[in-house]
Amino acid sequence: MSRIGTTDWVMDRCDDLTRHSARPDALERVYLSPEHAAANIAVRAWMLDAGLDTETDAAGNLWGRRAADGTPQRPGTAGEPALVLGSHLDTVPDAGRYDGMLGVVLAIAVAHRLRDTVLPFALEVVGFSDEEGTRFGKALLGSCAASGQWDEAWWDQADADGVTLRDAFEKFGLAPDRVGDAARDPADLVGYLEAHIEQGPVLEAEDLPLAYVTSIAGARRFVLTVTGEARHAGGTPFARRRDALVAAAHLVTRIEELAIAAGCLATVGELHVEPGAVNVIPGRAELTLDLRGRTDAGRDALWEQIAAAGRDIADLRGVEFEHTETHEAPSTACSARLSQAVATGITQATTASSDPLGLWSPAGHDGMAMAAVTDVGMLFLRCRDGISHHPDEHVDPADVAVALDAYTAAVLALAEEAS
Ligand code: GLV
Ligand code: MN
Ligand code: MN
């Protein structure tokens, strides 16, 4: 049995969490599921071992807290403003074991390392309940509740089985009309500091274990619909066809070309074709589009080009093109104060002679929501081959060891600045 707070303990706990999955052959843990409840129970025990008192909030987020003097303290009770460390406990389907979970477990390990250290602020650890948006299609539900940004319009959103968010809340034992209780008061927060795997290839290419994050890109998401005409696959000559899938296919390749030229990221992740029969020309194609960019302006300009391309292709092929925006988030700047603390932590924990690397994050994180109520900062860890949202996600224990030192040193740097 590994000792709490060590690198082995961190690696072992990430392994443990794979047991709480909806599928025996793959990791999938979505918001308000039985696996979510089981993961909260497991993580709560580790928080208690690390000297934190715990509480699950009105949106299913799990919190641990100690007072400035190190005494365990019930989250939600009055006390000193807190520095919050953490990440999320939910996953995408067929997930890796580090996206989110590593950040929660590292935060608990840091809290354990500092359990006898008096700080000028309270220390909290959070396991956010929903960052990925896998179940209800809306990302950051947990951190939106914690940052007071819950939107009443979300209640009727349903999962793939038709279960609404409201029903899922009740089934989980949460009261929908109490969700506002999860909102944190900015006056009670010193900042939110998250450790996360990079989910990209830069650190590996630079031969570095860690980076601090400068900003988190905001995504825009759309459903694109191409409507043509379903007709007989044998009886309809090409000149008479209005094939929705062929038009959609042209659009998909055009989206990639435009995104590369714009230096942004664009992904068509889902494609549904109707009526979906081998001998029927597709009459309708529905695509999802996820757009990200280093700047919101660059990303928005790309969208205008994609929308124009959709209209042009539709004109050329005699089909109709429509779009609905399903998600829009602005990019989030990490605070200079927290980024400086993370950079100091990296410098202290590593032997590199050069300044720590700062990276922008094309992946979304809970800090995007938490920035509404407090300063946010992030520490990135190298992951093998940059792969994430895949079971092959991998971090080297040696990098986790350095990250533990850097994360702890970053908290101490913030403590020194605050005292
Ligand atoms: C979350 O992982 C996202 O960036 O979509
Ligand atoms: Mn993710
Ligand atoms: Mn994540």
pLDDT value, residue 399 = 98
The first and second tokens of residue 330, run together, are 């602005």
CB 363 less than 6 A from any atom of ligand 1: yes
Ligand 1, residue 131: give the atom nearest the CA: 1
Residue 19 CB contacts under 8 Å (≥ 6 apart), including other chains:
38
Closest ligand 1 atom number to CA of residue 92: 2
Indicate which atom in ligand 1 lies nearest the CA of residue 362: 4
In this predicted structure, what is the pLDDT of residue 415?
Answer: 98
DSSP letter, residue 385 = G
What are the residues facing 70 on neighbouring strands? none
Distance 286 CA to ligand 1 centre (A): 21
Q: What is the H or E stretch that residue 380 is in?
A: strand 376-381
Looking from the CA of residue 199, the nearest atom of ligand 1 is 2
Is 332:218 a contact under the CB 8 Å cutoff? yes
Nearest CA to ligand 1 atom 1: 364
Q: How far is the CA of 124 from the centre of ligand 2 (A)?
A: 22
Q: How far is the CA of 394 from the centre of ligand 3 (A)?
A: 14
Cβ 97 vs Cβ 50: under 8 Å: no
**How does pLDDT run across 146-195, given as a tens digit for each residue?**
999 999 999 999 999 999 999 999 999 999 999 999 999 999 999 999 99
Q: Which residue CA neighbors atom 3 of ligand 1 most closely? A: 364
- Per residue in 282-334, pLDDT tens? 999 999 999 999 999 999 999 999 999 999 999 999 999 999 998 888 999 99
Q: What is the pLDDT of residue 329?
A: 86
Contact of 29 with 91, CB cutoff 8 Å: yes
The pLDDT of residue 144 is 97
- Outline where DSSP puts E strands in 34-106: 53-56, 62-66, 82-88
Give, using CA atoms, the residue closest to atom 5 of ligand 1.
364
Residue 34: strand, helix, or coil: helix
Interval between CA 363 and ligand 2 midpoint (Å): 7
Quick: pLDDT tens for 244-295.
999 999 999 999 999 999 999 999 999 999 999 999 999 999 999 999 999 9
366 ligand 1 Cβ < 6 A: no
- Give the residue-averaged pLDDT of 359-381: 97
Give tens-digit pLDDT for 32-83: 999 999 999 999 999 999 999 999 999 999 999 999 999 999 998 889 999 9
Q: Which of 143, 291, 365 to mutate to test the pocket of ligand 1 (most atoms within 8 A of CB)?
A: 365
Q: Which tokens is 53 given?
A: 């008192």
pLDDT at 352: 78
State the ligand closest to the CA atom of 102. 3
pLDDT at 76: 86
Burial group, residue 238, by CB count within 10 angstroms (0-12, 13-18, 19+): exposed
Burial class (CB in 10 A: 0-12, 13-18, 19+), 48: middle
Residues forming a β-bridge with 273: 285
- Asked which of 19-28, 225-234, 271-280, 327-336 is least confident by mean pLDDT, the reply is 327-336
Quick check: CB of 132 below 6 Å from ligand 1?
yes
Measured in Å, residue 102 CA sits from the centre of ligand 3 at 9
pLDDT for residue 1 is more than 90? no
φ, ψ at 265 (rounded to 5°): -120, 135
Q: Is the Cβ atom of 159 under 6 angstroms away from ligand 1?
A: no
**Candidates 216, 389, 393: which one to mutate for ligand 1, based on the most atoms within 8 Å of Cβ?**
389
Cβ–ligand 1 distance for 364 under 6 Å, the answer yes
Report percent pLDDT > 90 for the chain: 96
Largest CA distance in the chain: 80
Q: Is the CB of 68 under 6 A from ligand 1?
A: no
For the CA of 132, the closest atom of ligand 1 is 1
Ligand 2 geometric centre to CA of 201 (Å): 15
**Amino acid identity of 374?**
T
Average pLDDT, stretch 134-144? 94
- End-to-end CA separation in angstroms for the chain: 37
pLDDT score of 419: 87
DSSP conformational letter for 344: H
Distance 89 CA to ligand 2 centre (A): 10
Query: Helix, strand or coil for residue 37?
Result: helix
pTM of the model as a whole:
0.91
Structure confidence at residue 84 (pLDDT)? 98
Atom of ligand 1 nearest to the CA of 363: 4
Strand positions, DSSP E, 68-204: 82-88, 122-128, 189-197
- Phi/psi for 204 (5° steps) reads -60, -45
Q: pLDDT tier at 382 (50, 70, 90 boundaries)?
A: very high
Taking the centre of ligand 1 as the mean of its atom positions, its distance from the CA of residue 253, in whole angstroms, is 22
> If you search the block for the tokens 């664009």, which residue do you land on?
266
Ligand 1, residue 292: give the atom nearest the CA. Answer: 4
Distances (CA, A) of 205 to 108, 200, 343: 29, 10, 19
Mutate to test the pocket of ligand 1, among 29, 130, 132 (most ligand atoms within 8 A of CB): 132
Average pLDDT over residues 130-137: 94
What pLDDT score was predicted for residue 71?
Answer: 98
Q: Which atom of ligand 1 is nearest to the CA of 290?
A: 5
Q: In the 8-state DSSP scheme, what is residue 3?
A: P
Would you place residue 129 in the very low, low, confident or very high pLDDT band (cuts 50, 70, 90)? very high
The answer to whether the CB of 393 is under 6 A from ligand 1 is no
SS3 of the chain: helix, strand, coil, percent, to 5: 40, 20, 40
